[in-house]
C-alpha cells in the first residue's frame, strides 16, 4: 500500500484517540464546571456522535468524488478539533 494511506490512517487513529479521551473527560467537566446533571451531560455528549453519524455519509460521498481534498479535509478537521478543545478549557466556571 502507498505511504499516503498509512499517513492518513495514522492521523485518523491519533485524532480518534484524542476525541475518545476528550469526550470521556467532558462528561465530568460538564457536571463539575457547568453544573449539569449527569443525565443532561450524557444527552449533550450525544451531539458530537450524532453529528458525525449524519455528516460522515455526506463527507464520504463528497470525498469519493473529490479525492484530492482528503488531506485538506483531515487537516482542517484536526485544526478545528484542536481549537475546540482549547476554547472549551477557556470557558469560565459557573459558580
The yes-or-no verdict on residue 95 having pLDDT over 70 is: no
What sign has the CA pseudo-torsion 55, 69, 85, 6?
Answer: positive
- Between 23 and 31, the higher pLDDT residue: 31
Q: How far is 65 from 23, CA to CA, in rounded Å?
A: 31
pLDDT at 33: 85
pLDDT tens digit sequence for 24-54: 788 888 888 888 999 998 898 888 788 888 9
Q: How far is 32 from 64, CA to CA, in rounded Å?
A: 42
pLDDT at 87: 85
Question: How long, in residues, is the chain?
Answer: 95
Quote the pTM value. 0.61
- Between 11 and 83, the higher pLDDT residue: 83
Amino acid at each position: 500500500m502507498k505511504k499516503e494511506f498509512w499517513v492518513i490512517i495514522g492521523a485518523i487513529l491519533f485524532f480518534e484517540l484524542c476525541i475518545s479521551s476528550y469526550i470521556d473527560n467532558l462528561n465530568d467537566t460538564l457536571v463539575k464546571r457547568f453544573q449539569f446533571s449527569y443525565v443532561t451531560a450524557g444527552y449533550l455528549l450525544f451531539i458530537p456522535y450524532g453529528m458525525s453519524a449524519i455528516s460522515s455519509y455526506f463527507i464520504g460521498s463528497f470525498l469519493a468524488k473529490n479525492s484530492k481534498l482528503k488531506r485538506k479535509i483531515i487537516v482542517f478537521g484536526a485544526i478545528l478539533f484542536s481549537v475546540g478543545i482549547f476554547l472549551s478549557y477557556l470557558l469560565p466556571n459557573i459558580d
